[in-house]
């Protein structure tokens, strides 16, 4: 399913003309500021991806696999997002969408989000098995994709 979604995204972004006129509507007027904003979002995402990939080290693999000597990484970029590489893939597509502005970019972004969400669900199940309570605790503390603060929430004040 993920492969099919990514193939649709590739076709959407590379095919010169689709017969659906709404795919070419611009949500922002094409301009240099939109292009540079999109490029900045993409660049920030790429830098975050490099940090995440380097920080993960030998624990990284292209497919979801848990080896017997893998460790649960909860530091560096993994202290602010459980799946920072997914976050940066989405940032890259968001940056591209802002930079080029047609609606087909938003559709591509939505399809990539769906593909990553499907893979994320599978990875979450896989991670809970070998890492058990450690992963459950980590999941409560750190957002899945989008950076979050690892600071505990402030206690709520009671009445009076």
- Tens of pLDDT, residue by residue over 88-143, are 888 888 898 888 777 888 888 899 999 988 888 888 888 888 888 888 899 888 98
Q: Residue range 49-57: average pLDDT?
A: 85
Question: What pLDDT shows up at residue 56?
Answer: 80
C-alpha distances (whole Å) from 133 to each of 69, 85, 138, 139 are 18, 23, 8, 10
CA distance 56 to 45: 16
Query: Who has greater pLDDT, 96 or 156?
Result: 96
> In the block, which residue shows the tokens 């920030």?
44
**Percentage of the chain surpassing pLDDT 70?**
84
Tokens of 35: 């292009």
Task: Identify the pLDDT of residue 63.
Answer: 60
Residue 156: its pLDDT value, please?
A: 39
* Res 150 pLDDT > 50: no
Percentage of residues of the chain with pLDDT beyond 90: 6
């Amino acid at each position: 399913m993920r492969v099919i979604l990514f193939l649709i995204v590739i076709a959407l972004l590379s095919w010169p003309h689709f017969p659906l006129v709404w795919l070419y509507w611009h949500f922002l007027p094409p301009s240099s500021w939109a292009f540079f904003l999109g490029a900045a979002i993409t660049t920030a995402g790429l830098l975050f991806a490099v940090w995440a990939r380097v920080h993960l080290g030998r624990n990284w693999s292209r497919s979801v696999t848990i080896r017997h000597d893998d460790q649960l990484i909860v530091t560096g970029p993994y202290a602010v997002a459980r799946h920072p590489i997914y976050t940066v893939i989405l940032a890259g597509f968001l940056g591209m969408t802002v930079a080029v502005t047609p609606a087909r970019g938003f559709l591509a972004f939505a399809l990539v989000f769906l593909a990553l969400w499907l893979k994320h669900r599978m990875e979450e199940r896989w991670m809970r098995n070998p890492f058990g309570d450690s992963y459950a605790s980590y999941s409560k503390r750190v957002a899945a994709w989008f950076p979050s603060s690892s600071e505990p929430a402030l206690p709520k004040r009671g009445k009076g």
